[in-house]
Amino acid sequence: MNKHRIEPARNAEHDNTLQNWLYLRHTAGVGNQTFHALLDAFGSVDGVFNASHKQLSAITSEISIRSAIISALTSEQRPDISADLAWSQDSNHHIITLSDETYPAQLKELADAPPILYVRGDPEYLLQPQLAMVGTRNPTAAGRNTAREFARHLSNAGITIVSGLASGIDGASHEGALQGLAGTIAVVAHGLDIVYPAQHQQLAQNITEHGAVISEMPIGTQPQPGLFPRRNRLISALALGTLVVEAAQKSGSLITARCALEQNKEIFAIPGSIHNPMARGCHQLIRQGAKLVETANDILEELCLSGSQPPHYPQKSEINIQENPKDSHQALDPDHQKLLKCLAYEPASIDELVLSSNFSAAEIASMLLILELEGIVVSQDGRYTRVN
For 268-298, write each residue's pLDDT tens digit. 999 988 888 889 999 999 999 999 999 999 9
DSSP letters for 137-149: SS--HHHHHHHHH
User: Residue 6 above 60 pLDDT?
Assistant: no
pLDDT of residue 337: 84
Q: How confident is the model at residue 62 (pLDDT cuts 50, 70, 90)?
A: low
pLDDT of residue 257: 95
pTM of the model: 0.81
Alpha carbon distance 114, 177 (integer Å): 26
User: Residue 111 above 50 pLDDT?
Assistant: yes
Give per-residue pLDDT as tens, 7-28. Answer: 333 333 434 589 999 999 999 9
Any idea which architecture 119-302 has in CATH?
3-Layer(aba) Sandwich (3.40)
pLDDT of residue 322: 45
- β-pairing, 266-269 vs 211-215, is unpaired
User: Residue 78 above 50 pLDDT?
Assistant: yes
Domain ranges of the chain: 8-82, 119-302, 328-386
**Domain 8-82 shares a fold with domain 119-302:** no
Alpha carbon distance 294, 299 (integer Å): 9
pLDDT of residue 66: 83
Mean pLDDT of 195-219: 97
Alpha carbon distance 71, 62 (integer Å): 18
10 Å CB burial of residue 384 (0-12, 13-18, 19+) is: buried
Mean pLDDT of 232-261: 94
Give per-residue pLDDT as tens, 297-338. Answer: 999 999 987 645 455 455 454 444 444 444 444 567 888 888
Mean pLDDT of 173-196: 97
CB under 8 Å to 4, separation ≥6 — which residues?
none
Mean pLDDT of 101-127: 95
CATH of the structural domain 328-386, one choice from 2.40.100.10, 3.40.50.620, 2.60.40.10, 1.10.10.10: 1.10.10.10
- Calculate the alpha carbon distances from 106 to 32, 111, 312 in Å: 16, 11, 22
Mean pLDDT rounded to a whole number for the chain:
87
pLDDT of residue 313: 55
pLDDT of residue 141: 83
Distance of CA 10 to the CA centre of its chain: 31
The CATH number of domain 8-82 is 1.10.150? yes
Q: Is the dihedral of CA 68, 70, 75, 77 positive or negative?
A: positive
pLDDT of residue 388: 64
Cα–Cα nearest to 385, from 355, 360, 352: 352
Phi, psi of 327 (to 5 degrees): 55, 30
Coil, strand, or helix at residue 35? helix
- Calculate the alpha carbon distances from 297 to 116, 153, 266, 307, 383 in Å: 35, 9, 15, 10, 31
Better-predicted residue by pLDDT, 185 or 12: 185
Alpha carbon distance 130, 299 (integer Å): 12
Helix (H), strand (E), coil (C) string for 239-257: CCEEEECCCCCCCCHHHHH
Better-predicted residue by pLDDT, 277 or 119: 119
